[in-house]
Amino acid sequence: MSGIGPETLKHLLDDHGGPLVLYARQWSASPEDVVQEALVNLIQQEPPPENVVGWLYRAVRNRAISSSRRLGRRSRHEAAASHRGEPWFQPTDGQRLDAATATEALGRLPIQEREVVVARLWGGLSFNEVAELTGTSPSTAARRYQSGLVNLRERLAVECPETPTTSSRPS
């Protein structure tokens, strides 16, 4: 029997489901399917990975990229149209930022910056985890994150709140 039981799976889905879908949306037109496939694969792991959340992000990333490549080979036209899917942000009452504008600004970031910003802000990953996920060093991940935030601030022309540093979140 797998070490990932129903309760653990429920907590993983509750705590990380939304951020994982958002993370997969960078590459995939069907991010929910990518996340579901990764969760099914996680259940089949014997023994379960040590860092389950990090493993999930890596599995989602790999599946999403593979899915995107398959779509690209099948039809470049369909792949271009698929990136105009659902917005990345859900509007809320009293929201200061327009969700469509923020989605467009995030979508125009270079993929390396966008990936780090999404993984860090919405995924809650540390720079060490982001570095492992992207195959870079923690300092490269931090530079890409900072560069992405600068680009977003410029594109959105709004003040962004300061974010925690690497020392304020455990690795």
Question: For residue 115, what are its two tokens?
Answer: 């990936």
Looking at the chain, the whole-number percentage of residues with pLDDT higher than 90 is: 54
How many CA atoms, within 13 angstroms, populate the side-chain half-sphere of residue 164? Answer: 12
- Specify the number of domains making up the chain: 2
| Assessment of whether the complete model's pTM goes beyond 0.85 | no
Q: What is the pLDDT of residue 69?
A: 83
Same-domain check for residues 5 and 27: yes
Cα separation, 136 vs 42, whole angstroms: 24
The whole-number average pLDDT for the span 43-62 is 93
Mean pLDDT of the chain: 82
| pLDDT(25) > 70 | yes
Same-domain check for residues 10 and 71: yes
Question: For residue 54, what are its two tokens?
Answer: 């990090």
| pLDDT tens profile 56-85 | 999 999 999 988 888 777 665 554 445 555
Q: What is the pLDDT of residue 141?
A: 96
Same-domain check for residues 63 and 106: no
Which of these, 65, 49, 63, lies nearest to 129 by C-alpha position? 49
Count H helices and E strands in the chain, helices first. 8, 0
The whole-number average pLDDT for the span 155-161 is 68
Range of the domain at 136: 90-171
What confidence category does residue 125 fall into, taking pLDDT thresholds of 50, 70 and 90?
Answer: very high
